[in-house]
């Protein structure tokens, strides 16, 4: 068990549900009276990105063969990444034992229109930046992907017989200052108070190799302007802006 502080709460509210929920589905599929042809798992690039060699600039591009290091996640209190990494590894173990055809889609930071009544944690972060209520935050370089691309990747993983293993689903890369500049130019009526602690993005390796999913026929990912235009319009339509 990782020593994150508040460990019991994190274990019960984040880590256990992530792992147990995934395993419950796979075990139910293994017991189904009619054979389940394939299971498509929503994983995350968080199960790929967080590694000591990335921090030390020993690798420049990450792909489906890479895994986040649980020890790295523990050291830096990356609870979500720890849960997604552990959960996906357990899913692959059970799938192998049960003979289940498993394909895992690994999205990065998902942006686009709201699909729920309230913003998710990722969209809430964007909303707080747009409204100028975030406070100071590091100018981290982020990998973004449109929700429409994430949905399309899941459909591809389900329907394409050649799909197998893990599929990285990640589009554009940008630091928060670039995102703020992009949005401020299009939507000048909002504060966009820039409280980045540094005007340069962090220097950690951030490139994600998406050649595998493109080889299956996946089109080019939607652009940053498309992602954030759809996101802002959705905030407006739902009364959050």
Hey, what are 160's tokens? 């394409």
Cα separations in angstroms, 125 against 51, 130, 163, 193:
24, 9, 33, 13
Give the integer Cα–Cα distance in Å for 151 and 154.
5
Contact 89, 23 (CB under 8 A): no
Catalytic site includes residue 20? no
For the chain, the domains span 1-107, 110-145+171-206+220-241
Catalytic one of 3, 37, 56, 84: 84
Q: What is the pLDDT along the chain (241 residues), one digit of tens a residue?
A: 455 555 576 677 777 887 888 889 999 998 888 888 899 999 999 999 988 877 655 556 789 999 999 898 888 888 888 889 999 999 999 999 999 999 999 999 999 999 888 998 889 989 998 998 888 878 888 899 999 999 999 999 999 999 999 999 999 999 888 998 999 999 999 988 767 777 666 656 567 899 999 999 999 999 999 999 999 999 999 999 9
């Amino acid at each position: 068990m990782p020593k994150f502080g508040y460990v019991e709460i994190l274990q019960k509210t984040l880590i256990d549900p992530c792992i147990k929920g995934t395993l419950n589905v796979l075990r139910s599929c293994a017991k189904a009276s009619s054979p389940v042809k394939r299971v498509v798992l929503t994983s995350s690039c968080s199960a790929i990105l967080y590694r000591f060699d990335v921090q030390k600039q020993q690798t420049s591009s990450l792909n489906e063969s890479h895994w986040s290091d649980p020890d790295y996640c523990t050291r830096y209190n990356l609870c979500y990444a720890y849960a997604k990494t552990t959960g996906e590894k357990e899913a692959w173990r059970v799938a192998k034992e049960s003979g289940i055809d498993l394909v895992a889609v690994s999205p990065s930071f998902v942006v686009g229109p709201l699909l729920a009544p309230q913003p998710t944690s990722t969209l809430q972060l964007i909303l707080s930046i747009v409204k100028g209520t975030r406070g100071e935050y590091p100018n981290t370089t982020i990998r973004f992907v449109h929700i429409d691309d994430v949905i399309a990747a899941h459909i591809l993983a389900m329907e394409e017989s050649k799909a197998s293993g893990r599929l990285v689903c990640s589009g554009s890369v940008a630091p928060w200052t670039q995102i703020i500049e992009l949005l401020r130019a299009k939507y000048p009526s909002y504060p966009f108070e820039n409280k980045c602690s540094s005007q340069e993005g962090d220097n950690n390796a951030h490139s994600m190799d998406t050649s595998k999913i493109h080889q299956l026929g996946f089109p080019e990912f939607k652009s940053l302007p498309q992602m954030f235009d759809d996101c802002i319009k959705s905030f407006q339509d739902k009364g959050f802006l």
